[in-house]
Structure 1
Amino acid sequence: MKKSIVGLITILLLLFLVSSGCESSNTVASGENGNNSSEEILKNDSAQESGQLSQENLTSSEKSSPYIYWEYELGDITPENLSEGKSNAQDCVTYTQDGKYVAVGTGKKLTVIDVPDKKLLWEKTLGGNVSDISFSKDGKYLIAGEKSTDGYIYSLDAGTGNEIHSYRSADDLGTSTNSKYQPCIYKITAADDAVYIAAGRYWKESGYGLASRVYKFNPDGTLSWKLPANENYAQSVNWIDSSQDGKNVVRR
Protein backbone atom coordinates (compact mmCIF):
# COMPACT_ATOMS: atom_id res chain seq x y z
CA MET A 1 0.00 0.00 0.00
CA LYS A 2 1.37 3.39 -0.98
CA LYS A 3 1.77 5.93 1.78
CA SER A 4 0.70 9.50 1.17
CA ILE A 5 2.71 12.40 2.48
CA VAL A 6 1.89 16.07 2.87
CA GLY A 7 3.72 18.37 0.47
CA LEU A 8 4.64 21.88 1.51
CA ILE A 9 5.91 24.81 -0.47
CA THR A 10 8.04 27.12 1.64
CA ILE A 11 8.52 30.71 0.55
CA LEU A 12 11.86 32.08 1.65
CA LEU A 13 12.85 35.72 1.73
CA LEU A 14 16.53 36.64 1.34
CA LEU A 15 17.64 39.51 3.52
CA PHE A 16 20.52 41.86 2.78
CA LEU A 17 21.89 44.33 5.29
CA VAL A 18 22.46 47.82 3.86
CA SER A 19 23.71 50.98 5.54
CA SER A 20 20.23 52.47 5.82
CA GLY A 21 18.61 49.33 7.18
CA CYS A 22 17.40 45.90 6.11
CA GLU A 23 16.24 45.44 2.50
CA SER A 24 14.61 42.32 1.04
CA SER A 25 15.45 40.86 -2.37
CA ASN A 26 13.17 39.06 -4.83
CA THR A 27 11.21 36.18 -3.37
CA VAL A 28 12.47 32.67 -4.03
CA ALA A 29 10.75 29.34 -3.55
CA SER A 30 11.89 25.97 -2.27
CA GLY A 31 10.02 22.68 -1.76
CA GLU A 32 9.98 20.87 1.61
CA ASN A 33 8.15 18.02 3.29
CA GLY A 34 6.41 18.56 6.61
CA ASN A 35 3.39 17.63 8.69
CA ASN A 36 1.38 20.82 8.81
CA SER A 37 0.92 23.96 6.81
CA SER A 38 2.20 26.90 8.79
CA GLU A 39 3.35 30.46 8.52
CA GLU A 40 6.45 31.32 10.47
CA ILE A 41 9.32 33.77 10.55
CA LEU A 42 12.68 32.41 11.69
CA LYS A 43 15.73 34.33 12.83
CA ASN A 44 18.78 33.15 14.78
CA ASP A 45 17.10 29.70 15.13
CA SER A 46 14.17 31.20 17.03
CA ALA A 47 10.68 32.23 15.91
CA GLN A 48 9.57 35.86 15.96
CA GLU A 49 5.99 37.05 15.89
CA SER A 50 6.57 39.62 13.17
CA GLY A 51 8.10 39.54 9.71
CA GLN A 52 9.98 42.72 10.57
CA LEU A 53 13.54 42.02 11.69
CA SER A 54 15.27 44.43 14.01
CA GLN A 55 18.43 45.87 12.51
CA GLU A 56 20.17 45.97 15.89
CA ASN A 57 19.83 42.19 16.19
CA LEU A 58 21.53 41.52 12.85
CA THR A 59 25.24 40.76 12.84
CA SER A 60 27.75 40.98 10.00
CA SER A 61 27.53 37.20 9.54
CA GLU A 62 23.81 37.57 8.73
CA LYS A 63 24.19 39.90 5.75
CA SER A 64 22.58 37.31 3.51
CA SER A 65 20.35 34.93 5.41
CA PRO A 66 16.94 33.50 4.45
CA TYR A 67 13.96 33.25 6.74
CA ILE A 68 10.63 31.49 6.24
CA TYR A 69 8.08 33.94 4.88
CA TRP A 70 5.16 31.59 4.38
CA GLU A 71 4.33 27.91 3.93
CA TYR A 72 1.50 26.52 1.82
CA GLU A 73 0.26 22.94 2.12
CA LEU A 74 0.04 21.30 -1.29
CA GLY A 75 -2.06 18.40 0.01
CA ASP A 76 -1.45 14.67 0.10
CA ILE A 77 1.05 13.31 -2.39
CA THR A 78 1.23 9.59 -3.12
CA PRO A 79 4.78 8.51 -3.98
CA GLU A 80 5.21 6.19 -6.93
CA ASN A 81 6.41 2.62 -6.42
CA LEU A 82 10.02 2.83 -7.59
CA SER A 83 10.32 -0.97 -7.59
CA GLU A 84 8.17 -0.87 -10.73
CA GLY A 85 10.80 1.17 -12.56
CA LYS A 86 11.90 4.79 -12.86
CA SER A 87 9.46 7.36 -11.51
CA ASN A 88 7.50 9.36 -14.10
CA ALA A 89 6.83 12.20 -11.66
CA GLN A 90 8.95 15.32 -11.30
CA ASP A 91 8.79 18.11 -8.76
CA CYS A 92 9.09 21.53 -10.42
CA VAL A 93 9.16 24.99 -8.89
CA THR A 94 9.47 28.31 -10.72
CA TYR A 95 8.55 31.93 -10.13
CA THR A 96 7.90 35.05 -12.17
CA GLN A 97 10.71 37.56 -12.64
CA ASP A 98 9.01 40.03 -10.30
CA GLY A 99 8.50 37.33 -7.65
CA LYS A 100 4.71 37.82 -7.60
CA TYR A 101 3.71 34.26 -8.57
CA VAL A 102 5.21 30.90 -7.66
CA ALA A 103 4.23 27.80 -9.66
CA VAL A 104 4.67 24.24 -8.38
CA GLY A 105 4.28 21.01 -10.32
CA THR A 106 3.90 17.74 -8.41
CA GLY A 107 2.64 14.59 -10.09
CA LYS A 108 -0.11 15.69 -12.46
CA LYS A 109 -0.99 18.78 -10.43
CA LEU A 110 -0.06 22.42 -11.08
CA THR A 111 -0.40 24.97 -8.28
CA VAL A 112 0.13 28.73 -8.62
CA ILE A 113 0.43 30.93 -5.55
CA ASP A 114 0.22 34.71 -5.20
CA VAL A 115 3.21 35.41 -2.95
CA PRO A 116 2.51 39.00 -1.75
CA ASP A 117 -1.12 38.14 -0.93
CA LYS A 118 -0.20 34.72 0.54
CA LYS A 119 -3.04 32.95 -1.23
CA LEU A 120 -3.72 30.15 -3.67
CA LEU A 121 -4.35 31.59 -7.13
CA TRP A 122 -5.37 28.41 -8.94
CA GLU A 123 -4.82 24.66 -9.30
CA LYS A 124 -5.00 22.50 -12.41
CA THR A 125 -4.61 18.79 -13.15
CA LEU A 126 -2.85 17.82 -16.37
CA GLY A 127 -3.31 14.64 -18.38
CA GLY A 128 0.21 13.44 -17.54
CA ASN A 129 2.94 13.97 -14.98
CA VAL A 130 4.38 17.49 -14.92
CA SER A 131 7.94 17.34 -16.28
CA ASP A 132 8.93 21.03 -16.44
CA ILE A 133 7.40 24.50 -16.04
CA SER A 134 8.46 28.08 -16.77
CA PHE A 135 6.80 31.49 -16.74
CA SER A 136 7.14 33.72 -19.77
CA LYS A 137 9.43 36.69 -19.13
CA ASP A 138 6.49 39.08 -18.86
CA GLY A 139 4.77 36.81 -16.32
CA LYS A 140 1.56 36.56 -18.36
CA TYR A 141 1.85 32.87 -19.26
CA LEU A 142 2.88 29.66 -17.56
CA ILE A 143 4.35 27.12 -19.97
CA ALA A 144 4.04 23.53 -18.73
CA GLY A 145 5.20 20.24 -20.18
CA GLU A 146 4.21 16.70 -19.28
CA LYS A 147 5.30 13.10 -19.73
CA SER A 148 2.34 11.14 -21.05
CA THR A 149 0.93 9.29 -24.04
CA ASP A 150 0.39 12.70 -25.68
CA GLY A 151 3.37 14.65 -24.30
CA TYR A 152 1.48 17.94 -24.31
CA ILE A 153 3.05 21.38 -24.07
CA TYR A 154 0.59 23.82 -22.48
CA SER A 155 0.47 27.60 -22.49
CA LEU A 156 -1.72 28.73 -19.59
CA ASP A 157 -2.90 32.13 -18.43
CA ALA A 158 -0.69 32.74 -15.39
CA GLY A 159 -3.43 34.55 -13.49
CA THR A 160 -6.30 32.11 -14.07
CA GLY A 161 -4.85 28.79 -15.27
CA ASN A 162 -7.04 28.87 -18.39
CA GLU A 163 -5.51 27.03 -21.35
CA ILE A 164 -4.48 29.35 -24.18
CA HIS A 165 -2.82 26.79 -26.47
CA SER A 166 -1.56 23.22 -26.33
CA TYR A 167 0.77 21.26 -28.59
CA ARG A 168 0.94 17.45 -28.82
CA SER A 169 4.59 16.42 -29.09
CA ALA A 170 3.59 12.77 -29.66
CA ASP A 171 2.57 13.78 -33.20
CA ASP A 172 6.28 14.38 -33.85
CA LEU A 173 7.99 11.93 -31.52
CA GLY A 174 5.63 8.99 -31.55
CA THR A 175 4.32 7.37 -28.37
CA SER A 176 3.86 4.15 -26.44
CA THR A 177 1.40 2.54 -24.05
CA ASN A 178 4.40 1.81 -21.82
CA SER A 179 4.80 4.85 -19.55
CA LYS A 180 8.60 4.52 -19.58
CA TYR A 181 8.74 5.12 -23.33
CA GLN A 182 6.27 7.98 -23.64
CA PRO A 183 7.24 11.46 -24.91
CA CYS A 184 8.51 13.86 -22.28
CA ILE A 185 9.03 17.63 -22.23
CA TYR A 186 12.51 17.69 -20.73
CA LYS A 187 13.32 21.38 -20.51
CA ILE A 188 11.51 24.70 -20.96
CA THR A 189 13.44 27.98 -21.01
CA ALA A 190 12.00 31.46 -21.58
CA ALA A 191 13.69 34.34 -23.43
CA ASP A 192 12.38 37.89 -23.91
CA ASP A 193 9.84 37.11 -26.63
CA ALA A 194 10.11 33.34 -27.03
CA VAL A 195 10.04 30.00 -25.25
CA TYR A 196 12.45 27.21 -26.21
CA ILE A 197 11.66 23.59 -25.44
CA ALA A 198 13.56 20.30 -25.61
CA ALA A 199 11.38 17.19 -25.91
CA GLY A 200 12.04 13.54 -26.63
CA ARG A 201 11.50 9.87 -25.90
CA TYR A 202 13.34 6.58 -26.05
CA TRP A 203 12.16 3.01 -26.45
CA LYS A 204 13.34 -0.58 -26.19
CA GLU A 205 10.23 -2.35 -27.41
CA SER A 206 11.58 -3.36 -30.84
CA GLY A 207 15.22 -2.46 -30.52
CA TYR A 208 16.63 0.64 -28.87
CA GLY A 209 15.67 4.01 -30.31
CA LEU A 210 15.80 7.76 -29.60
CA ALA A 211 13.73 10.65 -30.94
CA SER A 212 14.08 14.33 -29.98
CA ARG A 213 12.98 17.76 -31.17
CA VAL A 214 13.75 21.36 -30.29
CA TYR A 215 10.83 23.81 -30.41
CA LYS A 216 10.45 27.56 -30.40
CA PHE A 217 7.08 28.87 -29.23
CA ASN A 218 5.71 32.35 -28.82
CA PRO A 219 4.88 33.03 -25.14
CA ASP A 220 1.15 32.51 -25.84
CA GLY A 221 1.89 28.94 -26.96
CA THR A 222 1.72 29.31 -30.75
CA LEU A 223 4.46 27.37 -32.54
CA SER A 224 7.17 29.43 -34.27
CA TRP A 225 9.39 26.57 -35.52
CA LYS A 226 10.69 23.11 -34.72
CA LEU A 227 14.11 21.62 -35.37
CA PRO A 228 14.54 19.45 -37.33
CA ALA A 229 11.52 20.60 -39.31
CA ASN A 230 10.44 17.30 -40.86
CA GLU A 231 12.15 14.57 -38.86
CA ASN A 232 13.47 13.82 -35.38
CA TYR A 233 16.98 13.86 -34.01
CA ALA A 234 17.99 10.22 -33.53
CA GLN A 235 19.68 11.22 -30.29
CA SER A 236 18.82 12.52 -26.86
CA VAL A 237 18.25 16.28 -26.46
CA ASN A 238 17.28 16.83 -22.84
CA TRP A 239 18.52 20.36 -22.09
CA ILE A 240 18.17 23.74 -23.76
CA ASP A 241 19.04 27.31 -22.85
CA SER A 242 19.12 30.65 -24.64
CA SER A 243 20.54 34.12 -24.38
CA GLN A 244 18.27 36.70 -22.76
CA ASP A 245 17.24 38.15 -26.14
CA GLY A 246 16.58 34.66 -27.56
CA LYS A 247 18.93 35.11 -30.52
CA ASN A 248 21.32 32.34 -29.47
CA VAL A 249 20.25 28.89 -28.32
CA VAL A 250 22.32 26.01 -26.97
CA ARG A 251 21.12 22.42 -26.62
CA ARG A 252 22.52 19.26 -25.13
Structure 2
Amino acid sequence: MKYLIARVKFVWRTRGIPGILLAIWRRIVFYGFVFPYSMAGHLLARRFRKPKQPDFSFRGRTYEYLYHPHNFTWNNERTVEVPIVWESVRSAAENGKRVLEVGNVLSFYYPISHDVLDKYERGEGLINEDAFYFRPQGEYDIIVSISTMEHVGWDPPDEPEPEKIRGSLLNLKRALAPGGEMIVTMPLGWNPEMDKRLFSGELPFDAEYFLQRIDAKNRWEEIPKGKARGSRYGKPFHAANAIVVGIIRNP
Protein backbone atom coordinates (compact mmCIF):
# COMPACT_ATOMS: atom_id res chain seq x y z
CA MET A 1 0.00 0.00 0.00
CA LYS A 2 2.88 2.37 0.82
CA TYR A 3 4.36 1.79 -2.63
CA LEU A 4 0.96 2.32 -4.29
CA ILE A 5 0.43 5.62 -2.46
CA ALA A 6 3.93 6.77 -3.44
CA ARG A 7 3.22 5.90 -7.09
CA VAL A 8 -0.08 7.78 -7.08
CA LYS A 9 1.59 10.85 -5.55
CA PHE A 10 4.37 10.71 -8.13
CA VAL A 11 1.93 10.43 -11.06
CA TRP A 12 -0.21 13.24 -9.61
CA ARG A 13 2.82 15.49 -9.18
CA THR A 14 4.29 14.83 -12.63
CA ARG A 15 1.25 14.17 -14.84
CA GLY A 16 -1.81 15.44 -12.97
CA ILE A 17 -5.34 14.15 -13.47
CA PRO A 18 -4.69 12.84 -17.03
CA GLY A 19 -1.90 10.67 -15.66
CA ILE A 20 -4.14 9.25 -12.92
CA LEU A 21 -6.89 8.46 -15.43
CA LEU A 22 -4.39 6.82 -17.77
CA ALA A 23 -3.06 4.63 -14.96
CA ILE A 24 -6.59 3.49 -14.08
CA TRP A 25 -7.31 2.73 -17.73
CA ARG A 26 -4.13 0.66 -17.98
CA ARG A 27 -5.23 -1.45 -14.99
CA ILE A 28 -8.60 -2.08 -16.65
CA VAL A 29 -6.86 -3.11 -19.88
CA PHE A 30 -4.42 -5.36 -18.02
CA TYR A 31 -6.95 -7.34 -15.99
CA GLY A 32 -9.58 -7.37 -18.70
CA PHE A 33 -7.42 -8.21 -21.69
CA VAL A 34 -3.70 -8.64 -21.00
CA PHE A 35 -3.93 -11.26 -18.26
CA PRO A 36 -6.19 -13.57 -20.28
CA TYR A 37 -3.85 -13.00 -23.23
CA SER A 38 -0.94 -14.02 -21.01
CA MET A 39 -2.44 -17.42 -20.29
CA ALA A 40 -3.46 -18.04 -23.88
CA GLY A 41 -0.15 -16.71 -25.15
CA HIS A 42 1.74 -19.08 -22.87
CA LEU A 43 0.05 -22.10 -24.41
CA LEU A 44 0.45 -20.82 -27.97
CA ALA A 45 4.07 -19.81 -27.45
CA ARG A 46 5.04 -23.27 -26.24
CA ARG A 47 3.41 -24.75 -29.31
CA PHE A 48 4.37 -22.33 -32.08
CA ARG A 49 7.15 -19.99 -30.92
CA LYS A 50 9.47 -22.31 -29.05
CA PRO A 51 12.69 -22.65 -31.07
CA LYS A 52 13.62 -26.02 -32.52
CA GLN A 53 16.69 -25.71 -30.31
CA PRO A 54 15.12 -25.05 -26.87
CA ASP A 55 18.47 -24.44 -25.15
CA PHE A 56 20.99 -21.63 -24.92
CA SER A 57 24.63 -21.56 -23.86
CA PHE A 58 26.16 -19.39 -21.17
CA ARG A 59 29.71 -19.63 -19.86
CA GLY A 60 30.13 -23.09 -21.35
CA ARG A 61 26.93 -24.50 -19.85
CA THR A 62 23.61 -25.29 -21.47
CA TYR A 63 20.33 -23.98 -20.06
CA GLU A 64 16.74 -24.46 -21.14
CA TYR A 65 14.77 -21.34 -22.02
CA LEU A 66 12.06 -20.51 -19.49
CA TYR A 67 8.50 -20.49 -20.84
CA HIS A 68 6.08 -19.27 -18.18
CA PRO A 69 2.84 -17.21 -18.21
CA HIS A 70 4.05 -14.78 -15.55
CA ASN A 71 5.56 -11.72 -17.22
CA PHE A 72 5.32 -13.27 -20.71
CA THR A 73 8.77 -14.88 -20.47
CA TRP A 74 8.54 -16.21 -24.03
CA ASN A 75 8.95 -12.65 -25.29
CA ASN A 76 11.54 -11.03 -23.01
CA GLU A 77 14.81 -11.43 -21.13
CA ARG A 78 13.32 -13.48 -18.28
CA THR A 79 13.60 -16.50 -20.55
CA VAL A 80 17.39 -16.50 -19.97
CA GLU A 81 17.83 -14.54 -16.74
CA VAL A 82 15.75 -16.83 -14.56
CA PRO A 83 17.34 -20.16 -15.64
CA ILE A 84 20.87 -18.78 -15.14
CA VAL A 85 20.17 -17.45 -11.66
CA TRP A 86 17.92 -20.30 -10.56
CA GLU A 87 20.60 -22.90 -11.27
CA SER A 88 22.96 -21.15 -8.84
CA VAL A 89 20.23 -20.68 -6.22
CA ARG A 90 19.05 -24.28 -6.50
CA SER A 91 22.57 -25.65 -6.18
CA ALA A 92 23.35 -23.41 -3.20
CA ALA A 93 20.15 -24.38 -1.40
CA GLU A 94 20.80 -28.08 -1.93
CA ASN A 95 24.20 -27.64 -0.29
CA GLY A 96 22.78 -25.83 2.73
CA LYS A 97 24.13 -22.39 1.83
CA ARG A 98 22.50 -19.10 2.80
CA VAL A 99 20.88 -17.32 -0.14
CA LEU A 100 19.60 -13.75 -0.47
CA GLU A 101 17.58 -12.56 -3.45
CA VAL A 102 17.35 -8.81 -4.08
CA GLY A 103 14.02 -8.15 -5.80
CA ASN A 104 11.18 -10.65 -5.52
CA VAL A 105 11.33 -12.52 -8.84
CA LEU A 106 12.09 -16.23 -8.44
CA SER A 107 9.05 -16.90 -6.23
CA PHE A 108 6.79 -16.34 -9.26
CA TYR A 109 8.42 -19.30 -11.02
CA TYR A 110 9.64 -21.74 -8.34
CA PRO A 111 8.96 -22.61 -4.70
CA ILE A 112 11.65 -20.85 -2.67
CA SER A 113 12.91 -20.90 0.91
CA HIS A 114 15.63 -18.22 0.79
CA ASP A 115 15.54 -14.64 2.09
CA VAL A 116 14.16 -11.96 -0.25
CA LEU A 117 15.01 -8.27 0.04
CA ASP A 118 12.44 -6.04 -1.68
CA LYS A 119 11.95 -2.41 -0.72
CA TYR A 120 8.35 -2.04 -1.88
CA GLU A 121 6.66 -5.39 -2.44
CA ARG A 122 4.74 -6.74 0.52
CA GLY A 123 4.39 -10.39 1.40
CA GLU A 124 5.21 -13.08 3.92
CA GLY A 125 8.94 -13.43 4.46
CA LEU A 126 9.90 -10.35 2.43
CA ILE A 127 12.45 -7.96 3.90
CA ASN A 128 11.24 -4.42 3.13
CA GLU A 129 14.48 -2.48 3.27
CA ASP A 130 16.52 -0.39 0.86
CA ALA A 131 19.51 -2.28 -0.62
CA PHE A 132 21.64 0.81 -0.04
CA TYR A 133 21.10 0.68 3.73
CA PHE A 134 20.47 -3.04 4.26
CA ARG A 135 22.24 -4.57 7.26
CA PRO A 136 21.66 -8.34 7.43
CA GLN A 137 21.73 -10.35 10.63
CA GLY A 138 24.22 -12.76 9.09
CA GLU A 139 26.33 -13.29 5.99
CA TYR A 140 25.15 -14.94 2.77
CA ASP A 141 26.99 -17.46 0.63
CA ILE A 142 25.23 -16.27 -2.51
CA ILE A 143 23.29 -13.13 -3.36
CA VAL A 144 21.29 -12.89 -6.58
CA SER A 145 19.25 -10.20 -8.31
CA ILE A 146 17.19 -10.41 -11.51
CA SER A 147 16.35 -7.20 -13.38
CA THR A 148 16.12 -5.15 -10.20
CA MET A 149 19.28 -3.13 -9.65
CA GLU A 150 18.77 -1.05 -12.81
CA HIS A 151 15.76 0.54 -11.06
CA VAL A 152 17.77 1.64 -8.01
CA GLY A 153 18.12 5.41 -7.94
CA TRP A 154 16.36 5.71 -11.28
CA ASP A 155 12.67 4.74 -11.36
CA PRO A 156 9.94 6.43 -9.27
CA PRO A 157 9.04 6.68 -6.51
CA ASP A 158 12.81 6.97 -5.91
CA GLU A 159 14.35 10.33 -6.68
CA PRO A 160 17.11 10.21 -9.34
CA GLU A 161 20.40 9.18 -7.69
CA PRO A 162 22.71 7.81 -10.41
CA GLU A 163 25.40 6.83 -7.90
CA LYS A 164 23.02 4.80 -5.75
CA ILE A 165 23.30 1.63 -7.81
CA ARG A 166 27.06 1.45 -7.23
CA GLY A 167 26.65 2.17 -3.52
CA SER A 168 23.95 -0.49 -3.22
CA LEU A 169 26.13 -3.13 -4.90
CA LEU A 170 29.04 -2.29 -2.59
CA ASN A 171 26.74 -2.48 0.44
CA LEU A 172 25.41 -5.87 -0.65
CA LYS A 173 28.97 -7.10 -1.16
CA ARG A 174 29.53 -6.54 2.57
CA ALA A 175 26.80 -9.11 3.21
CA LEU A 176 28.74 -11.83 1.37
CA ALA A 177 30.45 -14.51 3.42
CA PRO A 178 34.13 -15.22 2.63
CA GLY A 179 34.20 -17.07 -0.68
CA GLY A 180 30.66 -15.86 -1.42
CA GLU A 181 29.40 -14.67 -4.80
CA MET A 182 26.81 -12.20 -6.06
CA ILE A 183 25.08 -12.67 -9.43
CA VAL A 184 23.28 -9.63 -10.84
CA THR A 185 21.38 -9.52 -14.14
CA MET A 186 20.28 -6.21 -15.65
CA PRO A 187 18.82 -5.20 -19.02
CA LEU A 188 20.83 -2.76 -21.10
CA GLY A 189 19.17 0.38 -22.41
CA TRP A 190 16.65 0.81 -19.59
CA ASN A 191 18.77 3.04 -17.39
CA PRO A 192 21.31 5.07 -19.41
CA GLU A 193 23.11 6.14 -16.24
CA MET A 194 23.61 2.50 -15.30
CA ASP A 195 24.84 1.70 -18.80
CA LYS A 196 27.32 4.57 -18.67
CA ARG A 197 28.77 3.38 -15.39
CA LEU A 198 28.81 -0.24 -16.50
CA PHE A 199 30.83 0.40 -19.65
CA SER A 200 33.16 2.88 -17.95
CA GLY A 201 34.06 0.26 -15.33
CA GLU A 202 32.55 2.16 -12.39
CA LEU A 203 30.31 -0.67 -11.20
CA PRO A 204 32.12 -3.04 -8.80
CA PHE A 205 31.84 -6.23 -10.83
CA ASP A 206 34.71 -8.70 -10.79
CA ALA A 207 33.43 -10.26 -14.01
CA GLU A 208 30.83 -9.27 -16.62
CA TYR A 209 29.10 -11.43 -19.19
CA PHE A 210 26.64 -10.37 -21.86
CA LEU A 211 23.81 -12.01 -23.78
CA GLN A 212 21.97 -10.62 -26.79
CA ARG A 213 18.57 -11.42 -28.24
CA ILE A 214 19.06 -12.46 -31.86
CA ASP A 215 15.60 -12.94 -33.36
CA ALA A 216 11.83 -12.58 -33.00
CA LYS A 217 11.59 -16.09 -31.51
CA ASN A 218 13.45 -14.76 -28.48
CA ARG A 219 16.63 -16.77 -28.94
CA TRP A 220 19.73 -15.50 -27.16
CA GLU A 221 23.48 -15.87 -27.49
CA GLU A 222 26.50 -14.83 -25.46
CA ILE A 223 28.39 -11.86 -26.90
CA PRO A 224 31.53 -9.84 -25.99
CA LYS A 225 31.22 -6.63 -24.02
CA GLY A 226 32.10 -4.45 -26.99
CA LYS A 227 29.19 -5.80 -29.01
CA ALA A 228 26.76 -5.14 -26.16
CA ARG A 229 27.65 -1.45 -25.91
CA GLY A 230 24.86 0.79 -27.23
CA SER A 231 22.14 -1.87 -26.96
CA ARG A 232 18.69 -0.34 -26.87
CA TYR A 233 15.70 -1.33 -24.79
CA GLY A 234 12.66 -2.19 -26.91
CA LYS A 235 14.51 -2.06 -30.26
CA PRO A 236 14.66 -3.95 -32.51
CA PHE A 237 12.79 -6.49 -30.36
CA HIS A 238 10.39 -6.15 -27.44
CA ALA A 239 11.87 -5.43 -23.98
CA ALA A 240 15.62 -5.99 -23.44
CA ASN A 241 17.74 -6.72 -26.47
CA ALA A 242 20.82 -7.40 -24.35
CA ILE A 243 21.56 -8.09 -20.70
CA VAL A 244 24.60 -8.07 -18.45
CA VAL A 245 25.31 -10.78 -15.91
CA GLY A 246 27.60 -9.18 -13.37
CA ILE A 247 29.60 -11.17 -10.81
CA ILE A 248 30.89 -9.82 -7.50
CA ARG A 249 33.04 -12.03 -5.29
CA ASN A 250 34.20 -11.82 -1.70
CA PRO A 251 37.59 -13.61 -1.70
TM-score range, shorter chain: under 0.3
Query: Highest relative contact order (Cα 8 Å, sep 6+), 1 or 2?
Result: 2
Q: Larger % of helix: which?
A: 2
Structure 1-normalised TM-score? 0.28
Structure 2-normalised TM-score? 0.28
Q: Larger % of strand: which?
A: 1
